[in-house]
């Protein structure tokens, strides 16, 4: 069974970096909601399916939900920061003050002002797919409430964590400690990317929108050996 404690911590802190940027209070982790999310992630991973849950109740109310998938041809991880970045990246398509935008439901739920609690689960299927399910309470994405709950970034920034010089320096990897993003230098001599191709495919619209990003990367190790991996991430509208 996957140990998700570090993953949960990373995901929560990444959510709250973005929420602070958009002028809303931090989410708190809730163990019961994480159990709900984990059960659905386990179900999706074991059945090879990818869809929202129809049964996600907490204190008699429906939970908000974001789901994501990543497939890797070899060993690897799906970090809390990575999945939060994946959802937040929809900010580029959001029109603030317009009452909501199609295809941005993951982003809006991440920064939804009225949401206070987060639960999140992660599972991996036998086919190499990582599945992540996040549930939010109270739920977000209510028609007529976008303008009051989805606020613009206070400094105008919409960059992803780890991809902006003000978050981390170049040629470094990042990890979270407490509520601060800490820079951890990498050893450039260990691995070097010699080729990378990216393909993005989008199907459907609105709630049925499905976006697939496929990255094929060849890495050369210090001893001259090469390894090629393929990573596939999928998001679906909500």
Condensed to tens digits (0 to 9), the pLDDT of residues 155-187 reads 898 999 987 645 433 333 333 322 223 333 333
Give the pLDDT band (50/70/90) at residue 126. confident
Strand, helix or coil at 132? strand
Q: Are 87 and 110 in contact (CB under 8 A)?
A: yes
pLDDT of 69 higher than 70: yes
CA-CA distances (angstroms) from residue 57 to 32, 52, 53, 107? Answer: 11, 13, 10, 22
Rounded to whole angstroms, how far apart are CA atoms 83 and 15? 10
**Mean pLDDT in residue range 210-229:** 62
Rounded to a whole number of angstroms, the CA Rg of the chain reads: 18
Rounded to whole angstroms, how far apart are CA atoms 204 and 102? 11
pLDDT at 111: 98
pLDDT at 55: 87
Task: Give percent of the chain above pLDDT 70.
Answer: 69
Whether residue 161 is preceded by a cis peptide bond, meaning omega within 30 degrees of 0, is no
- Least Cα distance to 214 among 194, 197, 193 occurs for 197
pLDDT at 94: 95
pLDDT of 188 higher than 60: no
- Least Cα distance to 83 among 161, 29, 138 occurs for 161
- Least Cα distance to 133 among 34, 209, 206, 16 occurs for 34
Q: Are 162 and 168 in contact (CB under 8 A)?
A: yes
Computed over every residue of the chain, the mean pLDDT equals 81
Instruction: Name the more confident of 208 and 138.
Output: 138
Say if pTM beats, i.e. exceeds, 0.85. Answer: no
Instruction: Name the more confident of 199 and 23.
Output: 23
pLDDT of 106 higher than 90: yes
Quote the tokens at residue 92: 């580029």
Rounded to whole angstroms, how far apart are CA atoms 8 and 11? 5
Residue 183 Cα to chain centre, angstroms: 20
Give the pLDDT band (50/70/90) at residue 76. confident
Give the pLDDT band (50/70/90) at residue 117. very high
Q: Show Cβ contacts of residue 137 under 8 Å, excluding neighbours closer than 6 positions.
A: 30, 33, 58, 59, 61, 63, 64, 115, 116, 117, 119
Instruction: Name the more confident of 15 and 168.
Output: 15
Task: Give percent of the chain above pLDDT 90.
Answer: 58
With residue 149 as reference, give the H or E element that holds it: helix 146-149
């Amino acid at each position: 069974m996957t140990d998700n404690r570090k993953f949960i911590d990373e995901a929560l802190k990444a959510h709250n970096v973005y929420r602070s940027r958009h002028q809303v209070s931090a989410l708190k982790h809730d163990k019961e909601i994480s159990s709900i999310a984990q059960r659905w992630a386990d179900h999706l991973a074991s059945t090879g399916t990818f869809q929202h849950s129809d049964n996600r109740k907490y204190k008699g109310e429906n939970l908000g939900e974001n789901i994501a998938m990543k497939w890797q041809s070899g060993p690897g991880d799906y970090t809390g920061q990575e999945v939060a970045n994946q959802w937040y990246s929809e900010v580029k398509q959001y029109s603030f003050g317009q009452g909501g935008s199609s295809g941005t439901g993951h982003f809006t739920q991440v920064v939804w002002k009225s949401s206070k609690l987060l639960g999140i689960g992660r599972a991996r299927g036998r086919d190499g797919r990582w599945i992540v399910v996040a549930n939010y309470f109270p739920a977000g994405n209510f028609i007529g409430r976008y303008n009051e709950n989805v606020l613009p970034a206070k400094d105008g920034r919409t960059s992803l964590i780890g991809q902006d010089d003000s978050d981390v320096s170049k040629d470094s990897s990042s990890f979270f400690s407490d509520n601060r993003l800490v820079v951890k230098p990498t050893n450039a001599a260990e691995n070097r990317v010699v080729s990378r191709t990216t393909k993005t495919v989008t199907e459907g619209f609105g709630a049925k929108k499905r976006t697939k990003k496929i990255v094929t990367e060849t890495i050369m190790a210090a001893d001259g050996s090469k390894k090629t991996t393929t990573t596939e991430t999928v998001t679906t509208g909500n």
